[in-house]
Amino acid sequence: MIQQIFNFLLHIFSTLVAGACLIRCLLQWQGINLTLGLLNPISTYLFLFSNWIVLPLRRVLPNFRKLDSACLCSAYLVILLKALLLAFINPTSQSILAPFVLAIFDLIDLSLSGLVGIIFASIILSWLAVGSQARYLLSSLVNPLLKPIKRILPNTGQLDLSPLVLLIAIQLLQIIMANLKASI
C-alpha cells in the first residue's frame, strides 16, 4: 500500500513538473512570449513548477533554433528520475539502461497525452468562448498540426474533422509506443 501511494505521488509530481517543462518548450517553439499579460496566470504555474530545474540547465544547454533544449532536457530528467526511483524500489531483471529508454517512451507518451488535452480544450473553447484569449492561445498551439490535415481532408462546411483525424493519429502513435515500451 505504501509503495502504491509513493508511486502515485511520484507520478503526479513528475507529470506536473515535466508537463510544465514541455508546455514551456511548446510555447517557445511556437514563438509565444510567456511574459505577456495574457499568459501571466499560465506562466506563473509554468515557472513555479519548472524554474528550479530549467534555469540551471539553461546556463549550460543552448537552444537549437526554436527548440528550448533546457526545457526538453528538464522534462526528460524529471521522468528519468521517476523511472530510476521506481527501478530502485521495484528491482527487476531489466538491464541498467532500461530506465533511460523507458523515460524516453514516458516523455513521448506525456507529450502525446498533453497534446490530446490541448486539442480537446481547443475544441471546447471553440464552441463556448469564441474570441477569448485562451482560445486564441490554444488554437495557435494546435493549428500548425491541423493545417496539413485540413489540406488533405475534403471541405465539409462548418464541421471540421481535422481535430478528430489528429486525435486518431495520436491514439495510434500511443498504441505503437505502448507496444514498443512493453517489448523492452
pLDDT over threshold 70, residue 106 = yes
Supply φ then ψ for residue 131, to 5 degrees: 85, 5
pLDDT over threshold 60, residue 110 = yes
Cell of 64: 537549437
In this prediction the pTM is: 0.88
pLDDT over threshold 90, residue 77 = yes
Span 123-153, pLDDT tens digits? 898 888 777 777 888 888 899 999 999 999 8
Work out whether the CA dihedral 155, 159, 160, 164 comes out positive or negative: negative
Supply φ then ψ for residue 67, to 5 degrees: -85, 120
pLDDT at 40 (0 to 100):
64
pLDDT at 93 (0 to 100):
65
Helix, strand, or coil here: 64? strand
Q: Write down the domain spans for the chain.
A: 2-182
